[in-house]
Amino acid sequence: MKACLINGMLIEDSTHAIDVMDRGLQYGDGLFETLRVANGAVRFWDAHYARLQSSCERLDIPAPTAIQLQNEASQVIGSTRDAVLKIIITRGVGGRGYRSSTKSLPTRIISLHDLPIALPLDGGIEVRWCNTRLARNAQLAGLKHLNRLEQVLAQNEWRDDSIAEGLMMDTEGELICATAANVFVVSSGVLVTPDLRFSGIRGVMRTQVLAAAQTLRIEIDERALWPDELSTASEVFVGNAVRGIRSVVKLEQQTWSVGSVARSIYEHLQLSQ
Amino acid sequence: MKACLINGMLIEDSTHAIDVMDRGLQYGDGLFETLRVANGAVRFWDAHYARLQSSCERLDIPAPTAIQLQNEASQVIGSTRDAVLKIIITRGVGGRGYRSSTKSLPTRIISLHDLPIALPLDGGIEVRWCNTRLARNAQLAGLKHLNRLEQVLAQNEWRDDSIAEGLMMDTEGELICATAANVFVVSSGVLVTPDLRFSGIRGVMRTQVLAAAQTLRIEIDERALWPDELSTASEVFVGNAVRGIRSVVKLEQQTWSVGSVARSIYEHLQLSQ
């Protein structure tokens, strides 16, 4: 971690920073955003803030203002050119057991981290299937909340660095996402992505990809996606806010090339910059 | 909070206690136990430790030894006669994103809290239905892990103190539990409790209740339980390690008396002491 601000205070000792009774720790009672700092600016800030605000609303946690968050983000970023910015909002401290106190003040944690080593789109990535399934709950679907044990268990299924991501199904067998990215499939020229009505995170990059596709007049279909549809797909790619878009070139016995749809969206979103 | 020990160190400032990068906070990557201290002793210690150990195993988190935990619990309890002891084990600090580091050391948080105001069995409690549903995931079912957003949202559905608990269904409509207790129903003389194959927490009190029923030669049936079965039930009660057993006497338009099965198990487990 490069820097961290908690409730507006710069943290000098990150190892003794959080209240042991914070509901984020006690129950996973909160949400987060992971943002890409590129050339000193936060990419897709408005989209991240809009999602944070709507997620807070769904969980009934008061959202910080955009101005406050933006000021604090700037303070943490300083003169850093390229990094990952993480914002956590928890319901704060207080309440008796699971029930929160109406008087609790949310906790705001804004931290800056080194960028993971990224490969250009052209390389493509190898992915695998995860055994860990995603539970279905429409009430929580789409939210980037702090209950992420399924993703942790899924990523812990492999340690081979040549495999960059794992695809996850929900408990009914629908293909939902990669462990830390949304998934997109091109089939008969149509860009298909899971509708996330029961599980998965509605990623900021997902929204950007769909908007770019619309501008580029690529037909879009948000619907239930099943694993066997990969066998007839002409392209598969994954996307998240930090790593942008990455084409899948290998999944077990299946292989693909980096396709024209991924490439045109990648270029349209200027993700190489 | 009355006292707290983190990784063996007595915490003086609980507001600056936890590493901001602890995976318990970042992802809910951990588990907990809530234990009852009665007359200066921890009730059902062995059962709690056994569950903690098996939960750690299922999540692949190294478990602390029983001796170490017991020593630390004694230190936190001191001369306190009646209290709630909470043990949290997280996967600790480290890793890149969701994937944990194989070198991480788990975080041990042992804290002592005031006992909630308890009513004797004879009073009975009123409960309600919660709208929040429990997601189904066999891989996590039964575990008392730190991903508890569903329980938080469920308890936040009401603020009326005359209603002591909320009953929760899973996404398919099975009756699973109360927000912070297991649920038991007596139907035609048989003690029925949900089998928790897809969701819910396998509570320590649940195990005690079933063992007591066996000793008392009460027939037991662990199976899928549906809400409409409540209408023909002769008794309904809920149980957890902190509050013991509480008979349900009212649920919306339905009413029950404190029944003989709940009473005999309550007495057998000496929960009044």
Distance from CA of A19 to the nearest CA of B (A): 4
What DSSP designation does B65 have?
P
Nearest CB among A20, A91, A153 relative to B109 is that of A20
Contact state of B27 with A152 under an 8 Å Cβ cutoff? yes
Residues 6+ apart with CB under 8 A from B65: none
Question: Beta partners for B201?
Answer: B142
What number is the average pLDDT over the span B94-98?
A: 89
Instruction: Enter the pTM of the model.
Output: 0.97
Whether the CB of A152 is below 8 Å from some CB of chain B: the reply is yes
- Other beta carbons less than 10 A from residue B127's beta carbon: 24
A35: three-class secondary structure by DSSP: strand
Model confidence pLDDT, tens digit, residues B231-268:
999 999 999 999 999 999 999 999 999 999 999 999 99
Position A112, amino acid = L
Rounded-to-integer distance, Cα B114 and Cα A267, Å: 59
Contacts of B105 in chain A (CB under 8 A): none
Position A138, amino acid = A
**Which residue do the tokens 């089998």 mark?**
B195
Residue to substitute from A6, A58, A98, interface B, most B β-carbons within 10 A: A98
- Other beta carbons less than 10 A from residue B255's beta carbon: 11
Question: Which residue in B has a C-alpha nearest to residue A87's C-alpha?
Answer: B26
Q: How confident is the model at residue B46 (pLDDT cuts 50, 70, 90)?
A: very high
Residue to substitute from B14, B16, B20, interface A, most A β-carbons within 10 A: B20
Mean residue pLDDT of chain B comes to: 96
Report in angstroms the alpha-carbon separations of A106 from A98, B67, B142, B152: 15, 37, 30, 15
Whether the CB of A168 is below 8 Å from some CB of chain B: the reply is no
* Of B144, B124, B139, B166, the residue nearest B250 (C-alpha): B124
Contact state of B149 with A59 under an 8 Å Cβ cutoff? yes
Whether B1 has a pLDDT exceeding 70, the answer reads yes
Whether the CB of B9 is below 8 Å from some CB of chain A: the reply is no
Whether the CB of B4 is below 8 Å from some CB of chain A: the reply is yes
Rounded-to-integer distance, Cα B83 and Cα B85, Å: 6
Contact state of B21 with A6 under an 8 Å Cβ cutoff? no
The phi, psi pair for A74, rounded to 5°, reads: -60, -40
Query: Contact A243/A116 with Cβ under 8 angstroms?
Result: yes
Contact state of B155 with A180 under an 8 Å Cβ cutoff? no
**Which residue do the tokens 């309904």 mark?**
B236
Whether the CB of B207 is below 8 Å from some CB of chain A: the reply is no
Beta strands A41-42 and B235-240 are unpaired
pLDDT at B117: 75
Model confidence pLDDT, tens digit, residues A226-244:
999 999 999 999 999 999 9
What number is the average pLDDT over the span B83-104?
A: 94
Query: Contact A155/B95 with Cβ under 8 angstroms?
Result: no
Whether the CB of B17 is below 8 Å from some CB of chain A: the reply is yes
For A128-149, the three-class secondary structure string (H helix, E strand, C coil) is EECCCCECCCCCCCECCECCCH
pLDDT at B272: 85
pLDDT at B243: 93
Whether B273 has a pLDDT exceeding 80, the answer reads no
- CB < 8 Å from A in window 212-271 of B: none
Contacts of B90 in chain A (CB under 8 A): 25
Q: How confident is the model at residue B73 (pLDDT cuts 50, 70, 90)?
A: very high
pLDDT at A120: 67
ipTM more than 0.90? yes
What number is the average pLDDT over the span B158-179?
A: 97
The phi, psi pair for B172, rounded to 5°, reads: -95, 0
Rounded-to-integer distance, Cα A248 and Cα A255, Å: 8
pLDDT at A123: 81
**Which positions of chain A have pLDDT values less than 50?**
none
Contacts of A97 in chain B (CB under 8 A): 116, 155, 180
pLDDT at B121: 72
The phi, psi pair for B223, rounded to 5°, reads: -160, 175
pLDDT at B116: 85
